Chain A
Amino acid sequence: MVTDWLIHAGLVALYLFLAMVIGLLFMGIARKITARIQNRVGPPIYQNFLDLGKLLAKKTNIKHNWIFDFAPLFGLGGVLLILAYLPMGGYIMLSGQGDLILLLYILAIPALGFALGSGASGNPNAGVGVMRALTLMLSYEMPFLIVILSLMIFYNTASLSVLLQKQMNYLWGIAALPISALAADIALQGMMAEKPFDIPIAPHEIASGPLVEFGGKYLGLLMLYSAGSIVVETSLFVDLFLGGGIVLNPTVYGTLAYFVNYLVWLALIFVVWMIAIFVNAVFPRFRIEQAFKFYWKWPTVIAIAGLVQAYVMSVFLGVVP
């Protein structure tokens, strides 16, 4: 009994650690690819590990208040919580009834922790950045919620593990609901704060926004936070629309299935991340009201079309996955 518990805890720790490593590696790959697109050489892909090590090894003497000290831990803890709820390659760490709805709630925790800390620093740039981040959140959540709703209607479940099971048995979400997948991918660009929507952390306008007062170890923790959130966001899309990368049924193939599924999941989140990076490398930045208008116009319309498709397919045509 105790050994089972220990094995489970060890596996969870391993998965969370690997997620952080993958996030940092992805950030390095993104920098290299952006550099190649801009006809530069670019840093080595392990550059972000060096950056992280440097930041954690720096002396840090920033003093504001205890909320400021607490915020990076809050953000990082929130990201780890979400990672534990998202199946990575089919391995389910934490789950429960209706965890798709729970996920929508806890997705806001790290961003709120981050906003808390930067607000506590009292820097006006941080305040502007937090305001922009929350407005952006309001804009992209509109299409994203409609997309989640259409998935729930089509697959007739609010549980991530059941959703993965049904996608494995029937069809991946991107094949069944391509319109919703498109809307979700546009929403994802804003969720990751990549280039057309990197309004909250615009370095040239508001001096990197919420990050403005963080330095040294604080920034190191926030770098881990953003590495984790890359995995969270790409993995969210993969779990919702690409079947979580599950190609082999774990009940039939056992441990081998977990291994293969993890690799497939890794390849799929890499593809989703690359789409975001290629868009990021060539676009300029929206203003916040442009981003708001864009999100409540086009992705919302696309998402509503997807909702209609899901409703018609499941209610009138009687498609039951």
Chain B
Amino acid sequence: MNENPLPSIIPDKEWKKIQRMLSKRSLWMIHFCTGCGAMEMPPVMTSRYDMERFGIIPMATPRQADLLLVTGYVATKTLKRIVRVYEQMQDPKYVIAFGSCPINGGIYWDSYNIIKRLDKYIPVDMYIAGCMPRPEAIMDAFLKLMKDIDEGKANGWMRYRKYYDQYRRNQMRIFKRWDE
């Protein structure tokens, strides 16, 4: 995160706490709908469950977003776009993997072009199991993620910086080339 602007007045620990409080209360979300979730997201955004009351609003571009929702199975071609979207987001950033498929492949467990664990390629902070998870489960995941951010547990973005080489090696095993 950003450096402390006033180190003489605010102790570093307090500054981190303030930053976590702020990023918890205004998560801007970009949802990467790979195949599923287009039915479950609208009730979460609109008047039935209304995620805006927690400050979560959908954003149109990765530059502005803090939270990446990967909804559904991830094909090897899609993975490259997901990694690009993830790398364009600004730190601190969080990832929620949505449905059974990013956890262990789901019904595509033996498919030739679906990756099985998203966590090997980008760091995932929260999983929602289910095929498909209901909107209640999504709201629950948002609240749990907010709690994790507050406690400093949601630090996937730090992991991505620290173990970048390993993540990159795993990604390159799938891609072979970056420019196609």
Interface string of B54-91 (1 = CB under 8 A from A): 11000111111010000000000000000000000111
With A38-B47, A41-B50 already in contact, the answer to whether A53 and B22 are too (CB < 8 A) is yes
B177 at the interface (CB under 8 A from A): no
Roughly how many angstroms separate A31 CA and B92 CA in the complex, as a whole number? 25
Interface string of B24-45 (1 = CB under 8 A from A): 0110100000000000000000
Select A57's contact among B23, B62, B89, beta carbons within 8 Å: B23
Question: Please, which residues of chain A bring their CB within 8 A of the CB of B1?
Answer: 57-59
Residue of B nearest to A48 (CB): B26
> Are B64 and A204 neighbours in the complex by a CB distance under 8 Å?
no
> Are A50 and B55 neighbours in the complex by a CB distance under 8 Å?
yes
Roughly how many angstroms separate A47 CA and B1 CA in the complex, as a whole number? 21
Give the tally of cross-chain contacts (CB within 8 A). 91
With A50-B25, A57-B23, A59-B2 already in contact, the answer to whether A211 and B64 are too (CB < 8 A) is yes
Interface string of B3-28 (1 = CB under 8 A from A): 00000000000000011001101101
B52 at the interface (CB under 8 A from A): yes
> Are A213 and B63 neighbours in the complex by a CB distance under 8 Å?
yes
Roughly how many angstroms separate A43 CA and B59 CA in the complex, as a whole number? 16
> Are B52 and A215 neighbours in the complex by a CB distance under 8 Å?
no
Question: Please, which residues of chain B bring their CB within 8 A of the CB of A57?
Answer: 1-2, 18-19, 22-23
> Are B60 and A58 neighbours in the complex by a CB distance under 8 Å?
no
Question: Please, which residues of chain A bring their CB within 8 A of the CB of B59?
Answer: 203, 208
B176 at the interface (CB under 8 A from A): no
Residues 35-87 of A contacting B (Cβ, < 8 Å)? 35, 38-43, 47, 50-51, 53-54, 56-62
Select B53's contact among A38, A39, A40, A60, beta carbons within 8 Å: A40
Residue of A nearest to B50 (CB): A40
Roughly how many angstroms separate A236 CA and B2 CA in the complex, as a whole number? 37
Question: Please, which residues of chain B bring their CB within 8 A of the CB of A56?
Answer: 2
A219 at the interface (CB under 8 A from B): yes
Question: Please, which residues of chain B bring their CB within 8 A of the CB of A219?
Answer: 63-64
With A50-B25, A51-B26, A215-B90 already in contact, the answer to whether A38 and B46 are too (CB < 8 A) is yes
With A51-B26, A215-B63 already in contact, the answer to whether A59 and B90 are too (CB < 8 A) is yes
> Are A59 and B61 neighbours in the complex by a CB distance under 8 Å?
no
B49 to chain A minimum Cβ distance, whole angstroms, is 9
Roughly how many angstroms separate A40 CA and B51 CA in the complex, as a whole number? 9
B147 to chain A minimum Cβ distance, whole angstroms, is 17
A43 to chain B minimum Cβ distance, whole angstroms, is 5
Question: Please, which residues of chain B bring their CB within 8 A of the CB of A60?
Answer: 90
Residue of A nearest to B27 (CB): A54
> Are B50 and A62 neighbours in the complex by a CB distance under 8 Å?
no
> Are A42 and B23 neighbours in the complex by a CB distance under 8 Å?
no
A216 at the interface (CB under 8 A from B): yes
Select B46's contact among A40, A42, A62, beta carbons within 8 Å: A40
Roughly how many angstroms separate A43 CA and B63 CA in the complex, as a whole number? 22
Question: What would be 9 A-B contacts, judged by CB atoms less than 8 Å apart?
Answer: A40-B53, A50-B25, A51-B26, A53-B18, A53-B22, A57-B1, A61-B91, A215-B64, A215-B89
B residues in contact (CB < 8 Å) with A: 1-2, 18-19, 22-23, 25-26, 28, 46-47, 50, 52-55, 59-64, 66, 89-92
The 10 A-B pairs with the shortest beta carbon distances in the complex, nearest first, are A215-B63, A203-B60, A54-B22, A207-B60, A59-B91, A40-B50, A216-B90, A41-B53, A208-B60, A39-B47
